[in-house]
Homo-oligomer: A and B are copies of this chain.
């Protein structure tokens, strides 16, 4: 494949392929969960002239194209991750800040119930649950 899928998707929307866009997508894929700033850092390691503005614009674009999605974890920080990756629930530890992913199936019964009771369709990939992780909860050092 001389032409990456990103280029194809972009072209099919009448948009241009640029090195910046490839780098941002690569960074999101490599990082798994990352804030715009973390993506920017990762991109800069490869091409230090890329501006954070471009990162913001590119993340927004990639999201519109359905290549990445974002979730709001802990405080306000949005974190981006590849859209094609397996959907997962984010568990955010309020003490150590660690984010772990769990299989979305765990949310299925709840999702079903909300749909039945309220007609509410939960966006599973967008879910973040706050609490205290096993490591922090085990030792009660609060």
A110 on interface, CB distance cutoff 8 Å:
yes
A17 on interface, CB distance cutoff 8 Å:
no
Q: In the complex the two chains form, is A129's CB within 8 Å of B118's CB?
A: no
Min Cβ gap A111→B in Å is 8
Q: Report B-chain residues with C-beta under 8 Å of the C-beta of A134.
A: 118-120
Q: In the complex the two chains form, is A122's CB within 8 Å of B114's CB?
A: no
| Alpha-carbon separation in the docked complex, A134 to B118 (Å) | 6
| Alpha-carbon separation in the docked complex, A137 to B126 (Å) | 17
Name the prevailing secondary structure of the A interface residues: mixed
Q: In the complex the two chains form, is A137's CB within 8 Å of B121's CB?
A: yes
When the two chains form the complex, which single residue of B75, B93, B122, B123 contacts A72, counting CB atoms closer than 8 Å? Answer: B75
| Alpha-carbon separation in the docked complex, A133 to B27 (Å) | 33
Which residues in window 52-82 of A have CB below 8 A to B? 72, 74-78
Minimum-distance CB pairs A-B, first 10: A119-B134, A76-B76, A122-B131, A126-B130, A123-B131, A121-B132, A121-B131, A123-B130, A122-B129, A91-B120
Q: List 11 A-B contacts (CB under 8 A).
A: A76-B76, A76-B77, A94-B123, A102-B117, A109-B109, A114-B129, A118-B134, A122-B131, A123-B132, A126-B131, A128-B128
